[in-house]
Amino acid sequence: MKKTTAEMIKVMQAYEDGKEVQALYNHHNEKWYDSKKPIWNWVDYDYRIKEEKPVLKKDPYIGKCVIDKKNGKEQYIITEVDHCGRYNVNDYLYYKEDIKINYYIEGEDF
């Protein structure tokens, strides 16, 4: 796609400001690729500002200590939450409701 001079300047200025840029070779139907040091050949290439990935909010329960209700001694840390909303406790995945059945959350009402 042919860019206007203003659009080209916008991409180049973004690169100068530290943003990542991608390039596409115009003579083949290829995919965009990251261009670490663009050559700014606007005849043979098209350039764009790389789309930033959205920053996900950290789940408030990640890093919390849980205590096993069965014996009250075994403690584990919630290490992650997966794409289905399940929490990893001692390499087992639990939904929030299931954690409340099996564990106490230290200092909080889960």
Express each pLDDT in 49-62 by its tens digit.
999 876 666 788 88
pTM over 0.75: no
Top pLDDT among 70 and 9 is at 9
Write the DSSP string, 60-99: TTTT-EEEETTTS--EEEEEEE-TTS-EEETTEEE-HHHH
Q: Count Cβ atoms within 10 A of the Cβ of residue 109 and give its class: 0-12 exposed, 13-18 middle, 19 or more buried.
A: exposed
Give the pLDDT of residue 109: 54
53-109: per-residue pLDDT in tens?
766 667 888 888 998 888 888 889 999 888 888 999 988 899 988 988 888 887 765
Q: Is the pLDDT of residue 110 over 70?
A: no
Q: Is the dihedral of CA 91, 97, 102, 103 positive or negative?
A: positive
Give how far the C-alpha of residue 29 lies from the chain's centroid of Cα atoms, to the nearest Å: 28
- Cα separation, 104 vs 21, whole angstroms: 47
Give the pLDDT of residue 12: 97
Domain boundaries, the chain: 5-49, 65-105
- Cα separation, 69 vs 55, whole angstroms: 35
DSSP percent split of the chain into helix, strand, coil, nearest 5:
15, 30, 55
